[in-house]
Amino acid sequence: MQPEAKDPEEDSVWEEPPSMLWGLDPMFNAFTRLYVKDILQMRESCQVSGIYFYNSHPIFKVDVLGTVVYKREREDFFCYGVDDGTGVINSLCWKDEPWREQGDPATPGARSFGSSAREDFNPANELKKLRQAQHSSSHLEIGELLRVRGPVKTSRQQREIMASTYYKVSDPVMAVQISWMMEVPQLYRQCYDKPFHLDSSAQNPNIQGGSASYLLGRATRILKDFLKEKEVTRFRPYDVQDLLQPLVSRQPQKTAAEQVHIQWEEQEPEAGPSSGPPTSFKQLRELLQKSLQILQDEGLVFRKVKCQDEVYHVTERDKDLLMAIRDILREDCRREKYAEKGCHILHILSSVRQRYSRNVSKAALELVLKALECNSDIISTSDSHYTIL
Amino acid sequence: MSPAVFHFLWEVNFGAVKEGDSVRTFGRLVSYQPEESKATLSIQHAARQHQVVVQTTFVEPFDPIIGAQYIVLGEIEKAEGGDGVMVHARVLNCVDGVNLALLQRGVNEQRSYFRERGESKGDAATAAQQRAPL
């Protein structure tokens, strides 16, 4: 009988995500390298038995490397006790059919050495050698190193690993164990200890837009297509705001109170009495800001002058910027210093920032340089050097 | 069965592990007395030699390579004569050629992770509350 969680308040604070969404967590499908201590302590799911939770991640199968500290052999399987330094866990390792009929594999070994000295390839001997290898890889003694991978099961009130793969690890100078000791804390810090975040939109399957990152991706796509089709050179946020309206208006209400108020079948959030324009407008503003930031980071747009008036310039269509870069290259490549090799991109960047605008990012500059090169105005002399043609 | 946590020889000697608990440690084999089933492991640390006696009854017969690095897994018991502790080995493996500095780093890396985790117990505690009896 699993005892109740020590701190009942913890339970009420954290709820399991619905089982349908567990597949969204990449850890669910991986053989997680948890410490045995954590495998033994992780809480079992209330929804599906056989699935466990570590730090809000649904865990199904694990990967353990440890020393065999006890061994029980039956006709069909081994039960190895694996100790990885943090805990000891049972590991149920089924025996393979093919070599179970083998007698003592030691004697054939001596004979097969003699025959392998001959030139001919003897399949029967090779098969025998293979069986011996399989046998030695699955028969372990106490003190040997075992690698086990498989799902965790609770059987007779004990947690154990039902090995889907297991083998003896030859580690004469402890290289494998040392690298495991170095890697696992990293895995914990980078993956396992980071909580599994589910967007509230992902939890509600009624939303057509899906998760926030999906929405953001669509928003940036819409903006990019618009800027390209209409050959926009400059714009302000409110010029493009309406483009993102359809993405936002599909989001239904988030709170239960608001849901109760929706009487209409059309699910128009703006029409709902408790939601109204302010909520969706705020979402729209947020989405717009995030999308514009992404476009800036990618270098597609930039703000020539940072002031109250938010004007965005589309990088590739800014004629002044193009001319400024061409002038820089034309003048500097006349100088002896740059004549042969051309100007380094960072030199160009600092010149552009001095002459034209402080807010031109490296990403934006790279876009323009690529455009100029495609146009045969300039040419790259090396990975990061350019010269005028 | 308690897990054999990694400890350094000098920690074992200073009583870092409780009597009866399992431990995993390593050192150079300096002597072996088969009649008494006793081996001595030694390691150099902070300009001092640290030694611990290992009871080898469970792991005999083994091929003793004096001077080679060994790793031992076993229970802590009071040493005969009442002075200090000894390890009753269940596993005694030769690991000669091991990179000692790297091994030490590995152990410390694991420890510092557990220390970090212990400090932020609040987050980890969400899932770590149930204990399965062994």
Distance CA A137, CA B125 (A): 38
* Number of residues written out for chain A: 389
At residue A195 the predicted structure's pLDDT band, cuts being 50, 70 and 90, is confident
3-state secondary structure of A168: strand
Shortest Cα–Cα distance, A40 to chain B (Å): 6
Nearest in space to B29 (alpha carbons), one of B120, B94, B75: B94
Which residues are registered as beta bridge partners of B85?
B78
- What is the Cα–Cα distance from B73 to A26, expressed in whole angstroms? 36
B93 to chain A, closest Cα gap in Å? 7
Query: What's the Rg (C-alpha) of chain B?
Result: 16
B68–A contact, CB cutoff 8 A: no
Question: Contact at 8 Å (CB) between B117 and A86?
Answer: no
pLDDT at position A210 over 80: no
Q: Among A7, A33, A181, A192, pick the best mutation site for testing chain B contact (most B Cβ within 10 A).
A: A181
Q: What is the distance between the alpha carbons of residues A301 and A306, in angstroms, rounded to a whole number?
A: 13
Distance from A192 to chain B by nearest Cα, in Å? 10
Extended strands (E) in chain B: 5-6, 22-33, 38-45, 48-55, 69-78, 85-94
Of A11-20, A108-117, A146-155, B19-28, which gets the smallest average pLDDT? A108-117
Nearest by CB to A178, from B90, B97, B106: name it.
B106
Name, in order, each residue with C-beta under 8 angstroms of A369's C-beta and a sequence gap of 6 or more.
Answer: A325, A345, A348, A378, A380, A386
Query: Which position has the token pair 């099961």?
Result: A153
Q: What is the mean pLDDT of chain A?
A: 81
- d(Cα A175, Cα A191) in Å, to the nearest integer? 24
User: Span A105-133, mean pLDDT?
Assistant: 67
Token output for B19: 């009597």
Residue in B62, B103, B126 to test binding to A, most A beta-carbons within 10 Å: B126
Q: Which residue has the higher pLDDT, A3 or B76?
A: B76
Among chain A residues, CA nearest to B92:
A143
Which amino acid is residue A166, in one-letter code?
Y
Q: What is residue A238's predicted lDDT score, i.e. its pLDDT? A: 87
Tokens read off for A270: 């703006």
Give the pLDDT score at A99.
54
Using alpha carbons only, what angle is made at residue A244 by residues A241 and A245, rounded to the nearest 5 degrees?
90
Tokens coding A24: 């969204």
Report CB contact under 8 Å: B97, A172: yes
Mean pLDDT over A329-334 rounds to 88
A195/B90 CB distance under 8 A? no
What is the mean predicted confidence (pLDDT) over A167-178?
93
pLDDT at A68: 94
Q: Choose, out of B57, B105, B129, the residue to mutate when testing the contact with A (most A CBs < 10 Å).
A: B129
A60-73 burial: b if 16+ Cβ within 10 Å, else e: bbbbbbbbbbebee
State what percent of residues in chain B have pLDDT above 70.
88
Tokens 């810090």, located at residue: A189
Give the residue among A88, A91, A89 at the shortest CA–CA distance from A80: A91
3-state secondary structure of B22: strand
Q: Could you tell me whether strands B22-33 and B5-6 are parallel, antiparallel, or unpaired per DSSP bridges? A: parallel
CB distance B113–A189 less than 8 Å?
yes
ipTM of the complex: 0.84
Confidence band of B132 (pLDDT split at 50, 70, 90): very low
Residue with tokens 């270098």: A299
pLDDT at A101 over 60: no
Greater confidence, A249 or B69?
Answer: B69
∠ Cα A183 B89 B114 (to 5°):
30
- pTM here? 0.59
Confidence category of residue B79, pLDDT binned at 50, 70, 90: confident
Q: Are B76 and B20 in contact (CB under 8 A)?
A: yes
Interface size, chain A vs chain B, as Cβ–Cβ contacts under 8 Å: 131
- Beta strand A385-388 with A343-344 is antiparallel
Nearest residue in chain B measured CA to CA from A182: B106
Per-residue pLDDT averaged across B121-125, rounded?
42
Instruction: Identify the residue with better confidence: A159 or A248.
Output: A159
- Decide: helix, strand or coil at residue B64: coil
Measured in whole angstroms, how far is the alpha carbon of residue A71 from the centre of its chain? 38
Q: Does A95 have pLDDT greater than 70? A: yes
> What H or E segment, with its residue span, contains residue B63?
none
Instruction: At B72, list the tokens.
Output: 């031992």
Query: What's the mean pLDDT in A308-327?
Result: 89
% chain A with pLDDT above 90: 30
Q: Which residues contact A211 (CB under 8 A, 6 or more apart)?
A: A199, A201, A202
Tell me which chain A residue has its CA closest to the CA of residue B122. A10
The mean pLDDT of A231-243, rounded to a whole number, is 87
Confidence at residue A389, expressed as pLDDT on a 0 to 100 scale? 84
| Amino acid in position A195 | P
Contact state of A83 with B106 under an 8 Å Cβ cutoff: no
Give A274-318 as a DSSP string: TTHHHHHHHHHHHHHHHHHHHHHHHTSEE-SS-SSS--EEEGGG-
Kindly state whether A14 is in contact with chain B, defined as any CB-CB distance less than 8 angstroms: yes
pLDDT of residue A12: 44
pLDDT higher than 60, residue A226: yes
Average pLDDT, chain B: 85
Please tell me if residue B124 touches chain A, with a CB cutoff of 8 Å: yes
Locate A203 and state its tokens: 């939890």
Is a pLDDT exceeding 70 seen at residue B95? yes
Q: Which residues of chain A are within 8 Å of residue B109 when distances are taken between CB atoms? A: 181-182, 185
Q: What is the pLDDT of residue A36?
A: 94
Q: Is residue A326 a contact partner of residue A372, using CB atoms and an 8 Å limit?
A: yes
**pLDDT of A368-382, one tens digit each?**
999 999 988 899 988
Q: What is the pLDDT of residues A142-170, one digit of tens each?
A: 999 999 999 999 888 889 999 999 999 99
* Whole-number pLDDT of residue A117: 53
pLDDT of residue A97: 67
Q: Could you say which of B107, B110, B124 has the minimum Cβ distance to residue A193?
A: B124
pLDDT of residue A112: 47
Closest partner residue to B129 among A7, A84, A157, by Cβ? Answer: A7
pLDDT 10s digits, B51-64: 999 999 999 888 89
Higher pLDDT, A115 or A5: A115
Q: Compute the radius of gyration of chain A from its Cα atoms.
A: 32
CA–CA separation, A305 and A358 (whole Å): 8
Mean pLDDT, residues A190-199 taken together = 80
